[in-house]
Each structure stands twice: as C-alpha cells, then as structure tokens.
Amino acid sequence: MGKYIELTNDNFEATTKEGVSLVDFWAPWCGPCRMIAPVIEELAEEFEGKANICKVNTDEQQELSTKFGVRSIPTIVFMKDGEVVDTMVGASSKQAFADKINSLL
C-alpha cells in the first residue's frame, strides 16, 4: 500500500532530485487541503514506484514554503528531476493531478 512522503528541509532535495514528484503544500487548519488529502493518498497508492507523492506541512516547514513562493494553500508543485515544471493552486480533481503526473512520466 503506497503512502505519501512527508517532506522536510532534511529530505526534500534527496526525495525530489530524480524522477517525477508531486508536492502538496498544505496545513492542518486549511479546509481545501483537508478536502484533497484523500486524493493525495489515493495518488500515492496509484503512482507507487512511478512518482513521488509528497506533502509539506507549511506550518512546520516555513523555509520550504518560502523557497517555493507558496502564498496560498493548497499549492501543488510538480517537479521532474529536481526542477519545478508546473504549479497548481487550490483544490483540484484527482484526474487533473493524475493527468499532470502522467504527462511528466
């Protein structure tokens, strides 16, 4: 069973430097973030072994949020080989996230 990866300053670069990564910048108090949480978990299962599905708690990892210019959450950052290739702000459908990941694989 796939599980998303909790990212911190310590493991961010090592986790996202190779392959495709979806990084969900979220916070526990954010309603739309809680709405898409089950979607992120489903994506983690579906893309296990193919893409990194990750979450960054913006309350705990403010440095990462600043580095990526996160101004509102949820912000979903799509990365390929350590480079940001796309960003989506706000809740979106599972299909929209999956389509974006598949286009990068």
Pick from 7, 47, 55, 4: which is nearest to 27 by CA?
A: 55
Length of the chain: 105
Q: Which of 33, 36, 39, 64 is catalytic?
A: 33
- Can you tell me which residue has the tokens 């912000």? 75
Cβ(20)–Cβ(51) under 8 Å?
Answer: yes
Instruction: Please identify which of the residues 7, 22, 23, 30 carries the catalytic annotation.
Output: 30
54 carries an active-site annotation: no
Query: Residues with catalytic annotation?
Result: 30, 33
